[in-house]
Structure 1
């Protein structure tokens, strides 16, 4: 009996190291899968037959672009929808305020392309806390076509994107399931040499894209980013974000109560929730076309990047808690340590060999993903700034995660929100929210410190 007790710790230790080695191998397999998917899907982008078809023979599409202010590269971003090689579409450009600066750009483009069916929609309808949804409601209701292409104002699309997306929307999965949504992996393009811009660019074009493609290739769960999404309004009108399957066999059956886009105004990540609703409530699936959503990254400071990542993590924490908890163990720093410890345990290999090798191979894989998405290798002029941003992203991932995980408030478009259960949110009124940094700042004030008027409003 005593011998068995003595052997137990060794058995447990071997089991733990075996699990760790298995995890390490699985994560590398996922990374290679994402790299392979990028090569297979994006290295060749054939022209769709719909591009040159007659207008009556193709389904009509309503392009919805929510606007607010002068985003970086706004003219070129919006112009890319005016120049789509597709014979039957309309564009609805929506702003919440009639004095919005984006309107001058819109009117200039409408004058330049008089033959394009484009309309300006002014005014929002508040259906929830999500400002993007509130902005889109009137365009959503005025759209004449069932197929909607919702595309953010900071995205530029290739002229053949719409035609290829409609092709994908009309297809089915290998198992015969209907495609309800077509999305595009974001590909960041930085116009500034700011540290936050370069880190964001490196993250989106390598690690994020690689994992995004791998998850969507395996397709065991919904995973969608809403930079550029194509779906049918008739499907959206059947779901409400409850994620409860519709049990009726009626092909037109819908959820009870409020459905459609207004039902998703209560979520901050409405794009992900819409995709999840199609997946779980209707039993449909998603697809990626061979195009990217060219996401123009402007002047992003270091703290802008940190808060953006924190927002994503805090929203995901309330939507997919288990996956979010496991996220640190997928990042390169922690993963390289797991790999090194396991190789030392099983092979007696010094950590000074596997850790550098881990990062060298990881960088090679990520640069290959970049080349697939971009259609060309990393330009020499950007090489060192990009690689510097890549290393910064990898080493900052864990600290940012820890900062973000232990909090529930996010800042979006200058407003503060508290993320609630299932990704819903409430707007935090000035003075109601408190963070570690705000308390630390108050603690450091001198006793005779006199508050400014703006600080009185926020305290």
Structure 2
């Protein structure tokens, strides 16, 4: 019996295509269910003594776009018991006057500035946060980037998700981390900014929500994360379960935030550690982290995508390698080729239907997160950026997958195993790197 290999490939291709559509529709459904209604948390009006205290940690460096409004959004949280710690590494940082002005404007908010960093690894964000982490008065920490603005009800709803009672009908594992889907807000209509907006607010959000709805593995971005310091002090980034039945047991050796200073994607690694080492789970509140995108060129966008593909390659290789086969252009080719072989349908018909439906679902996700449909004023710009994002996805991936150096905040790093990084020296020719590959600052092995 002869097996028609083309029939097998066409059938497998169509099944893969249907599976990816199921994932996309799951993300679309999750966005509708979670974000189209955002009720006020009862914690917002509760007495301060009856709610858990929260320490909000915001690392600052320079004048991020919309910095004043971003920081102010944490000063006006509808929650009765929180403090704010604004961290800067340098006493001459340009963000300091903005922070001081807000402290003067809101004298009743418990806020202080923490100046200075501690070098615990190659990650400058972690180095900047260490002193605030140690000085925080509360166990629950909300780490939120300086380019993010949030709704006043975000903290109360997030605490609800973190410490709320388990459902009596649907048992679930303990929640160790609450995170928020990033949603891009464009303030300057540059091509890179628009493409970043189209990416974060459609395809990225759709897949992010689908993965977190299935919840078979940790998948977290660090724009806005809420977790307990007591939990973080029990894990060491080994991703191995704690070998003890004691619910307060910790991993041997150093634990806590300092051990994550050797990772570029420390947020993802913290989430994975809480998931695997504590056996806990994550949750999303019905809020978004409004990521204010500033003046981003096309080059900035490309190098940002390259950076995170290279980091993911060393953290989740198998998932990274199948990434191109989840993108719309490759899926369109798979679908059209399979349907043509199986049913004789012309390629252009399948491709046109595919992209029309794909964009419709993406725009529905946008409407759920934004709380309104795509504004008519940016419809054509957004559409063009969406097309550019889809067309650029495969070339960017192919470029990124064969490298290991990344640039972040003006510094160059080499990504090592498990997503660890080391500072790289000034770029050399490929021949020089071949002859002398050890041109990187070592990281303290104790970390």
Using the TM superposition, give the Cα deviation of residue 170 of structure 1 relative to its aligned residue in structure 2, in angstroms: 1.0
Query: Deviation string for 1:196-237 (max 9, x for gaps)?
Result: 000000000000000000000000000000000000000000
CA 1:68–1:347 in structure 2 vs 1: closer, same or farther (change >3 Å)?
A: same
Structural mapping, 1:83-162, within 5 Å:
83-162=76-155
Matched with 2:13 is: 20
CA distance in 1, matches of 2:63, 2:37: 33
Structure-1 residue corresponding to 2:66: 73
SS at match of 1:353: helix
Q: Distance in 2 between the 1:168 and 1:19 partners?
A: 40
- 1:451 maps to which residue? none
Summarize the alignment of residues 203-218 of structure 1 with structure 2, pairs less than 5 Å apart. 203-218=199-214
State the 1:372 CA deviation.
0.3
Query: Residue 368 in 1 paired to residue 361 in 2?
Result: no
Asked if 1:383 corresponds to 2:379, the answer is yes
Number of aligned positions between the proteins: 431
Q: 2:283 matched to 1:287?
A: yes
CA deviations on 1:120-158 (whole Å, 9 max, x unpaired) are: 000000000000000000000000000000000000010
1:35 and 2:32 aligned: no
RMSD: 1.5
Q: Is the Cα contact below 8 Å between 2:10 and 2:339 reproduced in 1?
A: no
Which residues of 2 match residues 197-276 of structure 1 at below 5 A?
Answer: 197-276=193-272
Q: Which residue of 1 aligns with 2:176?
A: 180
Q: Deviations over 1:243-297 (max 9, x none)?
A: 0011200011111111000010010000000000011000000000000000000
SS at match of 2:221: coil
Instruction: Evaluate the alpha carbon distance shift between residue 149 and residue 435 of structure 1 in structure 2; reply closer, same or farther with a 3 A threshold.
Output: farther
User: Cα 1:29–1:435, aligned 2, differ >3 Å: closer, same or farther?
Assistant: farther
Per the alignment, residue 438 of structure 2 pairs with none
| Aligned with 2:57 (options 64, 67, 79) | 64
Quote the offset at 1:110 in angstroms.
Answer: 0.3
Q: Does 1:53 align with 2:46?
A: yes
The secondary structure found in structure 2 opposite 1:66 is strand
Task: Select 1:357's aligned residue among 353, 359, 364.
Answer: 353
Q: Partners of 1:170 and 1:433 in 2: how far apart? A: 53
For the residues of structure 1 that align with 2:371 and 2:428, how far apart are their CA atoms? 48
For the pair 1:412 / 2:408, whether they are aligned, the reply is yes
Structure 1 Cα separation of the partners of residues 429 and 277 of structure 2: 35
CA shift at 1:429, angstroms?
1.2
Aligned to 1:430: 426
TM-score (norm 2): 0.95
Post-superposition CA distance 1:8-37 (Å, at most 9, x none)? 3x1x33222221111000000111110000
- Indicate whether 1:337 and 2:330 are aligned: no
- Separation in structure 2 between the aligned mates of residue 369 and residue 202 of structure 1, nearest angstrom: 11
Q: State the distance in 2 between where 1:49 and 1:77 align.
A: 25
2 CA distance for matches of 1:435 and 1:97? 38
CA distance in 2, matches of 1:20, 1:386: 30
2:7, 2:342 within 8 Å by CA — same for their partners in 1? no
Give the secondary structure class of the aligned counterpart of 2:315.
coil
C-alpha separation between the residues in 1 aligned to 2:281 and 2:149? 25
Give the Cα separation in 1 of the matches to 2:114 and 2:304. Answer: 28
Distance 1:315 1:433, change over 3 A: farther
- C-alpha distance in 1 between matches for 2:377 and 2:301: 23
Cα distance in 2, alignment partners of residues 325 and 218 from structure 1: 20
Structure 2 unaligned spans of 5+: 435-447
**2:54–2:139 CA contact under 8 A, matched in 1:** yes
Give the equivalent residue in structure 1 for 2:322.
Answer: 326
TM-score, reference length from structure 1:
0.92
User: 1:35-85, CA deviations, whole angstroms, 9 ceiling, x for partnerless residues?
Assistant: 000000000000000000000000000000000000000000000000000
C-alpha distance in 2, partners of 1:291/1:124?
31
SS in 2 for 1:246: coil
* CA distance 1:343–1:150, change in 2 (3 Å): same
Matched position secondary structure for 2:347: coil
Q: Tell me: CA distance 1:324–1:135, structure 2 relative to 1, closer, same or farther (3 Å).
A: same
